[in-house]
Chain A
Amino acid sequence: MTTVPRAVIIGLDGVPHRLIERYASDGTMPNLGRILSRGTLRKMASSVPDVSCVAWSTVITGKNAGEHGVYGFMNLRPGTYRFSFPTFDDLGARPFWEEMPGRRAAVINVPGTYPAREMNGALISGFVALDLAKATHPKALVPELERIGYRIDVDASKGHSDMDAFLRDLAEETESKVRAYRHLWERGPWDVFFLVFTGTDRLGHFLFEAFDDGRHPYAAAFRAHFARIDEVLGEIEGRAGGDGLFMMLSDHGFGPIGREVNVNRFLAERGFLRVVDPSPDSFEGVGEGSRAFALDPCRVYVHLAGRYPRGRVPPADRERVAEEVAAAFGDLRIDGRPVARRICRRAETFSGPHLDAAPDLVVLPHRGFDLKARLAAPQLVSRGAFTGAHTQDDAFLFLRSGAIPESAIPAAPWVGDVRGLIERGIAR
């Protein structure tokens, strides 16, 4: 009898490589320290843009956004300025668990997998899942999850009004994920077990400054959350045993925010955008005469004739306008520091059947800047409730597998490499 190698994959949404290194060595996460001693830890690059739905879609399909078609949490509906919200149904490529015949998977809380659909195994969708019944496959699992008090997500709105309530909620949500993992682990059978914790990302948004500032009032609470995650990591790794593939990864990193930069305000100031009566519920405020606008986090779209109702830029001028915007961002300095770390052009960054829907530019900021694409922002620079911003260059990847020699793991991987490594790890 040949044994089929199993894989256990744990995602820690938004956890930067440097946090893993620090907490593994300073005693905050002792289990992590022990786990890292056998296997390979790498710093990993996230997707462009570095938001969770794009990054995880890239992880599970192994393809770039030009191929899977998910460029962010929201798009504009064709021919309008109204938002649409891409879902799992809009993902233009299949996740790996749908392409491993004869193998069963249990998948919990991977962002971008809502609504749940038919598969060989069980799936509970992650962000932005709304309704547990639609987030669960098979349906028989719904009452079981209700019984254990499954929580799809922490209520992030609490982070704006009452930090203690937010932390209580986060703890509760995390415990519900722990209950769910134990339940699915035993419910079995499975060959691939894939669990993502997203509370780490929520915590980062609100309290990342507490990571570097030991005197921050919530410094202990920040560490305590990771200490709890460490206990769970220890438990899962113990249950996983020494065979097969054991992988941990994040989809992007986090860094502190000094300033929020309102990129549409910048485009308006530079004459690329005319905002008229902005509304928070649409981009209807993109006025006549606008040549470009941006969607979160900083996806710049040229305001093309024929594509948008008030778009007047002829296709022939598309590249030129994009270059002008790129040049403007290249020159943007705030407090004497350049804002743009990298300006990614469409053709150089994306390829595939969905290239047409890709943003013309994606601007990635230097540390300390968070790019925001609110249309109505009154000032170029602002300071919001958040203290952490995603970072593109320091996600992490750890893996241990008898089937994958260290030399086969790219020295500087990106999220698009993960799927290939998983498949190699579970190959018969």
Chain B
Amino acid sequence: MDELTELESRTIYVVREAYSRFKRIGMLWSIGKDSTSLLWMCRKAFFGKIPFPVIHIDTGYKFREIYEFRDRYAREWGLDLMVARNEKALAAGTGPETGSKLDCCHALKTQALIDFIAAHRLDAILLGIRRDEHGIRSKERYFSPRDERFQWDYQNQPPELWDQFKSSTEGHHHLRVHPILHMTELDIWRYVEREGIPIVDLYFAKNGARYRSIGCACCCSTVESEADTVDKIIHEIATTDVSERAGRAQDKENAYTMQKLRALGYM
């Protein structure tokens, strides 16, 4: 068996475990390459008919291309698409210019999701995060319990071995399920290529630049690149080590300051 099939099989196994254990689940679809690949594998897991809602958290500030892509494939793939928006915050004018970007993110993304999970009483949500994405992610589990404030106690997580995952939400608010945790950025692009998965145009270079990760139009920046096909992107990634998230302008400073202060016992 080739490696991509092995990775795909593993993802499908995790997705089916989640559905088999918890019927009230949903999948977060950011329309980015990772969650779109996950969505593709969910379709394969359930033979074309995904038996749970696919949730898009809409901050109202996404790229136009993202909305177009979402609506087109939601239709073509017969998805049960649900859009989560923090209408209250949007009505109050929350946006990247009104306060810190961290607050904006919290209100329009985190709070929107918190509200959605509560309204639909979800036990588990599927997310397309990968272990190689960020340092702390190397400690992630496939099934990761969260509390009602979404806190993650990474030092004290349930053990996970031999594909035996946390099977109950008891004592926790909900579970995060990470079916593509074992894939790398490069694996994803190779998989996209092999499967011919449609991907938002923003990833492909125009005028010497492309997006390496996408989110809100206001908080994403491009990296220099000539890669305008999946093949060229694979080559580019295989030969560079610029952090994927370097393109994000998101304000991490407060979080980082807190982390430094905490290490010295403040706060």
Asked whether any CB of chain B lies closer than 8 Å to the CB of A130, the reply is yes
Q: Is the CB of B266 within 8 A of A296?
A: yes
Residue A73, interface by CB 8 Å: yes
B263 touches A157 (CB 8 A): yes
Do the beta carbons of B261 and A202 come within 8 Å of each other?
Answer: no
The answer to whether A130 touches B264 (Cβ under 8 A) is no
B265 touches A384 (CB 8 A): yes
Contact call A202/B253, Cβ cutoff below 8 A: no
Q: Which residues B224-267 have CB closer than 8 A to chain A?
A: 253-254, 256-267
Interface presence of A386 (CB below 8 A): yes
Assembled-state Cα–Cα distance A281/B265 (Å): 14
Query: What per-residue 1/0 map shows which CB atoms of B98-117 lie under 8 Å from chain A?
Result: 00000100000000000000
A372 touches B265 (CB 8 A): yes
> Does B149 touch A at the CB level, under 8 Å?
yes
Interface membership of chain A positions 141-168, coded 1 if the CB is closer than 8 angstroms to chain B and 0 otherwise: 0000000000001011101100000000
How far is the CB of B242 from the nearest CB of chain A, in Å? Answer: 16
Residues from chain A with a CB closer than 8 A to the CB of B151 are 279-280
Q: Is the interface of A mostly helix, strand, loop or mixed?
A: loop
With A128-B260, A281-B258 given, is the CB distance from A386 to B149 under 8 Å?
no
Write the chain A residue with the least CB distance to B256: A130
Contact across chains for A202 and B264 when beta carbons are under 8 A apart:
yes
Report B105 CB to chain A, min CB distance, Å. Answer: 13
Q: Which residue of A has the minimal Cβ distance to B148?
A: A277
Q: A131 to B257, alpha carbons, bound, how many Å?
A: 11
Residue interface bits A21-48, CB-to-B below 8 A is 1, else 0: 0000000000000000000000000000
Contact of A74 among B263, B265, B267 (CB under 8 A): B267
Residues of A within 8 A of B264 (CB): 156, 202, 205
- Nearest neighbor of B260 in chain A, beta-carbon distance: A128
Q: Kindly name the residue among B149, B151, B256, B264 whose own CB sees the greatest number of chain A CB atoms within 10 A.
A: B264
Q: B77 to chain A: closest CB distance in Å?
A: 38
Convert B160-201 into 0s and 1s, putting 1 for each residue whose CB lies closer than 8 angstroms to a CB of A: 000000000000000000000000000000000000000000
Q: Are A279 and B149 neighbours in the complex by a CB distance under 8 Å? A: yes
A357-398 residues with Cβ-Cβ distance < 8 A to B are 370, 372-374, 384-386
Select one of A153, A280, A385 contacting B267, CB under 8 A: A280
Contacts of B266 in A (CB 8 A): 51, 73-74, 296-297
Query: B155's closest neighbor in chain A, by CB?
Result: A161
Complex Cα–Cα for A130 and B151 (A) = 24
Q: Which of B151, B254, B257 has the most CB of A within 10 A?
A: B257
Distance in angstroms from B78 CB to nearest chain A CB is 40
CB <8 Å contact, B267 and A128: no
How far does the alpha carbon of A374 sit from the alpha carbon of B261 in the complex, in Å? 12
B261 touches A128 (CB 8 A): yes
B254 cross-chain contacts in A, Cβ below 8 A: 83, 85
A156–B257 CA distance with the chains assembled, in angstroms: 12
Using a CB–CB distance below 8 Å, which chain B residues touch chain A?
103, 149, 151, 253-254, 256-267
Provide a sorted-by-A list of 22 A–B residue pairs whose CB atoms are within 8 angstroms: A73-B266, A74-B267, A82-B103, A83-B258, A85-B254, A128-B257, A128-B260, A128-B261, A130-B253, A130-B256, A130-B260, A153-B260, A156-B263, A156-B264, A160-B263, A205-B264, A277-B149, A280-B151, A280-B267, A281-B258, A373-B267, A374-B267
Chain A interface (Cβ < 8 Å from any Cβ of B): 51, 73-74, 82-83, 85, 127-128, 130-131, 153, 155-157, 159-160, 202, 205, 277, 279-281, 296-297, 370, 372-374, 384-386
**Given A73-B267, A74-B266, A202-B264: 4 more A-B contacts, CB < 8 Å:** A85-B257, A128-B260, A296-B267, A372-B265
Among all A-B residue pairs, the 10 with the closest Cβ atoms: A156-B263, A157-B263, A296-B266, A85-B257, A128-B257, A386-B265, A156-B264, A130-B256, A73-B261, A128-B260
